[in-house]
Amino acid sequence: MPDSSAVQQRILALTERLHQLNHQYYQLDISEVPDQEFDQMLAELHQLETDYPDLALPNSPTRRVGGTITKQFPTAVHRYPMLSLGNTYSEDDLREFDERVQRGLEGAPYSYVCELKIDGVAMSLRYEHGQLVQGVTRGDGTRGDVVTANVRTIRTLPLALRPGPDQPEDFEVRGEVFMPLPVFAELNAEREQNGEPLLANPRNAASGTLKLQNSAQVAARKLRFYAYSLLTPGRHFASHSAALEALSRYGLPVSDTWRRCANITEVLDFVHYWAKQRHEFPVATDGIVIKVDDLRQQDQLGYTAKSPRWAIAYKYPAEAARTRLNEVIYNVGRTGAVTPVALLTPVPLAGTVVKRATLHNANQIELLDLRLGDLVYVEKGGEIIPKITGVDLAARPADAVPIQYPTLCPACATPLVRPEGEAHFRCPNERGCPPQLKARLEHYVSRRALNIDGLGAETVGRFFDLGLVTTPADIYDLPARRAELVTLERLGEKSIDNLIAGIEASKQVPFPRVLFGLGIRYVGETVAQKLAAHYRTIDALMVASAEEMAAVPEVGGVIAVAAAHWFQQPENQALIERLRQAGVQLAVTGEAPVPASDRLAGLTFVISGVFESHSREELQQVIISNGGKITGSISKKLSYLVAGDNMGPAKREKALALKVPIISETELMALLPSSEDEPAVSEENVIAATGLGSQGELFS
């Protein structure tokens, strides 16, 4: 029998890898390994957890909603299949499309509607009696994932429609869910701050977001929706344009960029206009959709096996430019990750001049077989971050130089490491590598962390270069070194006063932001808040094991291992000691947000489905910290089934058959003491609200 520390190691390794693969799959839309391999790892982990229950981590990937990646959402069959459009890249093809339409309609007059082709995720929404009842992804066109709880978080999407005399009782709205470009840019900036990999484009960001299990997280991502068609069993409107107008009247968001076009010449004018103009539009678009307006004529033209004959998508050519690769430099980030950046001969592309492009990592350089001096193709990924997509091999100069990926850190010459399964090389010299130290200081003073007035990234960087500060704790020694600061160029008395006042004020910044500011790998704002809320003081956090931390909602095994490792380092312990001496907030003040009590002692709960305001882990935590127990299966002895959206019908039926009360997340919360330690509602009210009836004795 293997010793338990070997088992523990294996559990940690599997957990870490599975969390990473899940993250890649859901957030980045990358499948690094085949599903089968994923399932094998999951099965192995599950077996180890069964054999060694004491070593099982509470946030194990085996405990995710639905168990595996393929079972995250229930699926539904589309009433009307979700077809795709024929694509074209040339104006000649558009003219041919028009000729086919003309022939198909046998000379009858017709007109078109042109719309922007939004680059997001197709969504089918069902409205019954004016109420949003279901949201389903395209899936394979016949069957898609039911993501109702997630689409409900889209603020601009009405849950109830404005009534209108011509509103069908039961209809479907098709449209595109997307992430606006500014939201995407903000999300990536935040990920960069947290040392997380960037999302490639807004479409991946939108599809990854829709696949999140926690709809509260989805809500934070600010997705949007544009409707582009309305489907009813019979024909309800005479034309597509009338249906678009009706959708707007009902309160559904329809982009006002659509136009009626009398003929193909007007269609081409529309295409030309948006070729440039779309770069000013705050939503990623990749073309124009052209539809025959009259619905009777649409029926007359009909469908091929895959797509309608009455519509076509004109795709703008991916904006690419060819330019010379002159040099590759290597940036070292806050967490030591090394990112190669290509320096190019400046070239105009989609409205800006591109001089640099990201190469992501060493794999990318190998895949593209890049050489210095090559002519390369640059594209704007999701219209934002330029990337190198290919090499003009025919034009390769004889003296093109193969790129030697560095083996030593370009900043501090420490040998680089590449942790198993990671794409990036890393410089492990956390304590001494200048760009890492500097980036950590910049992070510490940044707006979302300690937000030190008068000490921006630039100033702190300058102080670092001058040897005035190396770690965040050194910042608090600056006021005593006023005389030295005065001698610095470009730093007047007034700026110094401002700086000192800012440093003083930062001592009042709440603990979660200080914890975030420490720059622990993977500990972003949300995780910092969760850890702070759970442990309340840095001292409690410093002695917590990785296993314990992994039990905190939203803190997975990977994060917990990184955080525990960070707190074990003597120099980090010394840093915290100095911050404490300086008077920085290292504990939460005020009430604990998750009330702890024995209110649920003796009660057992099953949690099922997806919830609006809490993740399942949070609900579990709430139940456990109030003395309740979680179980997996429904039996007569079960106290409550806590039901969210998309709960399987079998569970509901079983609970009903065994007379197990089914309650919502709000009703669960109502069972708990409020923060003033009074019951949130009287017991009678709880019983009335939950319809528990004779189950009331559970409280006695």
For position 228 contacting ligand IVH by CB under 6 A, the verdict is yes
Here's the x/- map for ligand IVH, 307-346, by CB under 6 A: it reads as -x----x---------------------------------
Contact between residue 564 and residue 546 where contact means Cβ atoms under 8 Å apart: yes
**Of residues 13, 33, 55, 83, which one binds ligand IVH by CB under 6 A?**
83
Q: Which residues contact 48 (CB under 8 A, 6 or more apart)?
A: 7, 10, 11, 14, 55, 56
675 labelled as ligand-binding?
no
Q: Is 587 helix (H, G, I), strand (E, B) or coil?
A: strand
Count the site residues for ligand IVH by CB under 6 A: 13
Q: Is 20 helix (H, G, I), strand (E, B) or coil?
A: helix
Tokens of 34: 């085949």
Minimum gap (Å) between residue 228 Cβ and ligand IVH = 4
Order across the sheet with 629-630: list the strands: 629-630, 604-608, 640-643, 662-663
Residue number with CB closer to ligand IVH (85 or 607): 85
Place of tokens 């089914």: 662
For position 600 contacting ligand IVH by CB under 6 A, the verdict is no
Tokens of 47: 């077996």
39 labelled as ligand-binding?
yes
Here's the x/- map for ligand IVH, 6-25, by CB under 6 A: it reads as --------------------
Nearest of 444, 577, 448 to residue 520 by alpha carbon = 444
**Of residues 56, 69, 85, 411, which one binds ligand IVH by CB under 6 A?**
85
For position 278 contacting ligand IVH by CB under 6 A, the verdict is no
For position 390 contacting ligand IVH by CB under 6 A, the verdict is no
409 labelled as ligand-binding?
yes
Minimum gap (Å) between residue 117 Cβ and ligand IVH = 4
Minimum gap (Å) between residue 315 Cβ and ligand IVH = 10
Contact between residue 454 and residue 495 where contact means Cβ atoms under 8 Å apart: yes
Contact between residue 531 and residue 607 where contact means Cβ atoms under 8 Å apart: no
Q: Which residues contact 10 (CB under 8 A, 6 or more apart)?
A: 48
Here's the x/- map for ligand IVH, 174-213, by CB under 6 A: it reads as --x-------------------------------------
Contact between residue 370 and residue 403 where contact means Cβ atoms under 8 Å apart: yes
225 labelled as ligand-binding?
no
DSSP-assigned letters across all residues of 163-226: P-TT--SEEEEEEEEE--HHHHHHHHHHHHHTTPPPPS-HHHHHHHHHT-S-HHHHHHT--EEE
Minimum gap (Å) between residue 275 Cβ and ligand IVH = 16
The one catalytic residue in 117, 211, 380, 651 is: 117
315 labelled as ligand-binding?
yes
Residue number with CB closer to ligand IVH (138 or 360): 138
Region from 83-91, 515-523, 575-583, 661-669 binding ligand IVH, contact rule CB under 6 A:
83-91
629 labelled as ligand-binding?
no
Region from 14-22, 80-88, 326-334, 466-474 binding ligand IVH, contact rule CB under 6 A:
80-88
| Virtual torsion, Cα 290, 295, 296, 299, nearest 10 deg | 70
105-144 residues in contact with ligand IVH (CB under 6 A) are: 115, 117-118, 122
Catalytic-residue membership of 117 = yes
* Cα 322 to Cα 388: distance, rounded to the nearest angstrom: 10
Residue number with CB closer to ligand IVH (278 or 534): 278
Residue number with CB closer to ligand IVH (225 or 516): 225
Place of tokens 């030309």: 272
Minimum gap (Å) between residue 287 Cβ and ligand IVH = 8
Minimum gap (Å) between residue 89 Cβ and ligand IVH = 14
427 labelled as ligand-binding?
yes
Residue number with CB closer to ligand IVH (244 or 357): 244
44 labelled as ligand-binding?
no
36 labelled as ligand-binding?
yes
**Of residues 157, 187, 252, 289, which one binds ligand IVH by CB under 6 A?**
289
Q: How many CB atoms lie within 10 A of CB 56?
A: 18
Question: CA 605 → CA 157, 620, 622, 690, distances in Å?
Answer: 33, 9, 11, 15
370 labelled as ligand-binding?
no
Beta-sheet strands, E only, within 37-188: 75-77, 87-88, 112-118, 121-128, 131-137, 143-145, 170-178
115 labelled as ligand-binding?
yes
β-sheet bridge partners, residue 135: 125
291 labelled as ligand-binding?
yes
Residue number with CB closer to ligand IVH (18 or 85): 85
Residue number with CB closer to ligand IVH (18 or 289): 289
The sign of the CA dihedral 48, 49, 51, 55 is: positive
Question: CA 393 → CA 66, 527, 678, distances in Å?
Answer: 48, 46, 74
Contact between residue 245 and residue 258 where contact means Cβ atoms under 8 Å apart: no
Q: Which residue is nearest to ligand IVH (CB)?
A: 122
Question: CA 614 → CA 151, 213, 262, 461, distances in Å?
Answer: 16, 10, 51, 40
Region from 78-86, 201-209, 407-415, 599-607 binding ligand IVH, contact rule CB under 6 A:
78-86
For position 84 contacting ligand IVH by CB under 6 A, the verdict is yes
Tokens of 686: 């709880």
Residue number with CB closer to ligand IVH (85 or 161): 85
Residue number with CB closer to ligand IVH (187 or 313): 313
26-65 residues in contact with ligand IVH (CB under 6 A) are: none
Residue number with CB closer to ligand IVH (42 or 118): 118
CA angle (405, 407, 411) in 5-degree steps: 95
For position 173 contacting ligand IVH by CB under 6 A, the verdict is no
For position 293 contacting ligand IVH by CB under 6 A, the verdict is no
Minimum gap (Å) between residue 171 Cβ and ligand IVH = 16
Burial of 381 (0-12, 13-18, 19+ CB in 10 A): buried
Q: Name the site residues for ligand IVH (rule: CB under 6 A).
A: 83-85, 115, 117-118, 122, 176, 228-229, 289, 308, 313
Query: Which residues are part of the catalytic machinery?
Result: 117
Positions at the binding site for Zn(2+): 409, 412, 427, 433
